[in-house]
């Protein structure tokens, strides 16, 4: 599923190509690109839920966290996000790439991924997708894009 999300992001969103509005046409296009039908619909559903995260009435955990609060990860989150990934999320929040709200959106989307393997590079893509989807995060998106496309020697900024 992560491959489909990355393909969609690079092909349609990141490259400024007009995204097909009709979900069936998009599914057909992804099928022709070699992706499996079940994975396609899971990825499209994942993206739809990402768009819905902006509705604070449906996601009350995204509103009103204190600036001095500390995020404690659940055991399930710790199983999915290794120490390096959790540290990277905290780092991004400290340098104001992520706000507490966008951090929670990222964690929500990570936990909804149906994948056995999940690495720091996958997390970076999820963060980029979330920041792209949330209005007003253009600067944070640019910073994250720089981090995503940085070379291996530049990778360890923190």
CB 93 within 8 A of CB 103: yes
State which of 20-34, 57-71, 118-132, 141-155 shows the largest mean pLDDT.
118-132
Name the DSSP class of 9: I
CB 9 within 8 A of CB 128: yes
Size of the chain in residues: 158
- What is the C-alpha separation between 124 and 81, in angstroms, rounded? 12
pTM equals 0.78
- When the pLDDT of each residue in the chain is averaged and rounded to a whole number, the result is 82
Over the stretch 51-106, which tens digit does the pLDDT of each residue have?
Answer: 888 765 555 555 555 566 788 999 999 999 999 999 999 999 999 999 999 999 99
């Amino acid at each position: 599923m992560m491959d489909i999300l990355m393909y969609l992001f690079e092909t349609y969103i990141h490259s400024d190509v007009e995204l097909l509005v009709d979900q069936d046409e998009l599914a057909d296009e992804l099928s022709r690109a070699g992706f499996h039908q079940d994975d396609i619909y899971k990825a499209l559903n994942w993206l739809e839920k990402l768009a819905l995260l902006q509705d604070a009435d449906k996601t009350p955990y995204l509103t009103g966290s204190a600036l001095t609060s500390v995020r404690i990860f659940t055991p399930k989150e710790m199983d999915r996000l290794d120490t390096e990934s959790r540290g990277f999320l905290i780092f991004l929040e400290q340098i104001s790439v992520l706000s507490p709200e966008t951090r929670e959106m990222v964690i929500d989307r990570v936990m909804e991924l149906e994948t056995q393997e999940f690495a720091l590079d996958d997390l970076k893509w999820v963060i980029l997708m979330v920041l792209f989807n949330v209005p007003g995060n253009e600067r944070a998106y640019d910073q994250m894009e720089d981090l995503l496309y940085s070379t291996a020697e530049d990778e360890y900024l923190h």
